[in-house]
Structure 1
Amino acid sequence: MTATAMGLTLRPDFVWGVSTSAFQIEGAVAEDGRGPSIWDTRCREAGGIADGSNADIAADHYHRWREDIALMREIGVGAYRFSLAWPRLLPRGRGKANPAGLDFYDRLIDGLLEAGIEPWLCLYHWDLPQALDDLGGWTNRDCAGWYADYATLVARRYGDRVRRFVPFNEYSVFTLFGYAIPWAAPGVADRTAHLRAVHHVNLAHGAGVDILRDHVKGALIGGIHNRQAVRPASASAEDHAAAIRLDAHWNGVFCDPQILGAYPEAVAEDFEPYCRPGDLARICRPQDWIGLNHYGPIFARADPTRVWGYGWADTPPAPVDPAIGWPIFPEAFTEELLTLHRRYRLPIYVTENGCGGGAGSEQPDAAGEIADTHRVAYLRAYLAALGAAVDQGADVRGYFVWSLLDAFEWGSGYGPRFGLVHVDFPTGTRRLKQSGRWYRDLIQRSPKG
């Protein structure tokens, strides 16, 4: 272990990186043969996006990827975690591949390697091809097979240059919000659909791990999970029960079967009608590491109007961090890192952590500077919390900020900004924020392995 400039005690080979996702930054949704995704459809539904926007252009990364690699070099990151757009590679989700889409990611991967930045490739970050959703999407068991064919294409095309692979990003988010609490595409609220989607995504994960392992020599594979402590909003028995079930759906129904070989006890019976003999063995495949996306704890309340009887509660009254302007809970980050370490015994990479700011509060001043001091304070606090977990034994080997760029933030549209780099969406102009410079300086002062 080696001390860094912040007083953290980290491995000398600790990975500093940034993360993005294809749908949020690429744009070019109808260019070069790309097919529509369920999120393109969502953007065109009345009320689907808070500000009525869409990701047709987004941060225009499809045309500005060279500029974005240059920004990563300026910050000094060693790794870039990004996703492929399934409908860019397979416009109808299966069948004939799209040469232009394949070529785009060839250029991006080669550009990263030339810049000395390791590509961490995620196969799925929520943008299911619409053609597959028309056939039932994740509620159709066949979708696991369609994903396996897609994973085979990816492994054969990019496995000669990429070693780090992520089968899925945030399994619980896109299944719960897509099929039970309809905050995301495809916007379904149905218990059976949710259970089917969870189980079929787990089957797809297991198949993807095996395919990547078979086709890519030396592949290092890990699923990425959005995990937070779930706390009841009150001391009532109803809120306590809501927290137990939400915790199982949010934190357990993917990690446990994928790593431990069983669904959490609190909900295992619900999955029995969909779990065929041998399924859990297909799901529980060896992984090399686990990715954690974390922002803060979740507060659960009983809500009989929701399909599972729970809902999100507002954050209870808590001290406001004066440097950030709202309550933060870095101790929950320490807690989650230790929980992951003790329960799953895999090396941990923090693959998303960061904070959003309103568009109006993150605009260039007269000198073109963006003083996002709240984000610097947040990153400093959460990295200190990471250090506390490491000091208590957590095997944490890397940290990726969400996000490199301001981006299309799903149902919130362009309201919140998470980037280390400011994007002026009308023009595409990029500017490194104060937080980007702070992160650059931290990386420069960190010992290299």
Structure 2
Amino acid sequence: MFDNLSTKLDRAFKTLKGQGSITEINVASTVKEIRRALVDADVNYKVAKEVTDKIKDEAMGREVLTAVSPGQLMVKIVYDELTELMGGEKQDIVIKGDPAVVLLSGLQGSGKTTFAGKLASFIKKQNRTVLLVAADVYRPAAIDQLKVLGEQIGVEVYSEVENKNPVQIAQNAIQHAKQNNKKVVIIDTAGRLAVDEEMMREIEQVKRAINPSETLFVVDSMTGQDAVNTAKSFNERINFDGVVLTKLDGDARGGAALSIRAVVEKPIKFISTGEKMEALDLFYPDRMAQRILGMGDVISLVERAQQQFDEEEAKRINQKIRKNQFNFDDFLSQLEQIKKMGNLKDLVGMIPGMGKAMKDVEIDDDAFKPIEAIIRSMTPQERANPDIMNGSRRKRIAAGSGQGIQQVNNLMKQFDEMRKMMRTMNKMSQSKGGMLQMARMMGMRR
């Protein structure tokens, strides 16, 4: 989402490249470009001006150290200001009470129901029992969707087909949770296509009746400044506790993500990408600032890997790498773990320096399918012993997988390179390194 902003900010920093010192003239020129980049990214103009004024004041008050170029210093200043703009520090969701109640609000189409499933999965992994509540009485598909998600993640969904009163449904659900030892209740409420009085009055009544420990406003990141205006309207009526940004993997300019914290003065607590239940992250302002500035986000990438990583499997893979026995069966196992980590483009963008490299590269979430087809066309002996591959075997595999012989040869070459790299990275937790390397090597199509 922030690719265009990252490119323009990088261009702005080049104004200072090669400059021996920071002066009022070159800082003014750089700040002007930064402000233009922020406004072009759909950041609220008032917010963009306030931020760039701070950047200018900070830059003019700094002395450039011998070991630091003016451009590097400006990047650090912008990083600090972007981090502060987005909240400074991570804000955790408040889960307290017996049961704890989390109320979700937002417009229709914001990704609220999908987020409800993701949040339930997130909390369930903390060894808490969860109850999802279908309180959207206007859109039958919302109830069905929530039930599908609940079944997918193994969480009970409470609904009342005949009851059209969301307040009663929410209250009854909380009683059900108490009787069935559910520690957290997540209530998915109705959305509308636009802010209207009926919707606002209803969500106010629900909140007043259940007194949730946490009220979250779910907003589609791709709606630009409209998202900020809608957030203001909701906050004035229900005084929510935090914001959830969904669809952050889209192609929108991303300004809402930068503006919303400053405008409504409420923290962003989660960011959501894609449809997979695992594609949910706590919002770290500093990490997001790093990604915007092209620094990557290795910490979040490792955390996602750890969520899907099996320790026993890691030890097994580790032994095989040390003995140079890593094969295509192991490769398939690692691919499955990568796929569970979330949107592929989002993952690769977390690798430092990859943001710029990915500018003209299309990353498809189905990029692994041809690879899997090739591997599954191998015999068990071939998967277990990659070194026995010869020309006739590769030709047969190509025909069986529906891929060209060149694709098979490319995979064999990349697999061999990856095995060498994994052996080199053995002292640096090579199994996780292998997962990231596969995402980097196999997830790109030019």
What's the TM-score, normalizing by structure 1? Answer: 0.32
Where relative contact order (Cα < 8 A, 6+ residues apart) is larger, the structure is: 1
TM-score, normalised to structure 2, is 0.32
Give 1 or 2: higher helix fraction: 2
Q: Which has the larger radius of gyration?
A: 2
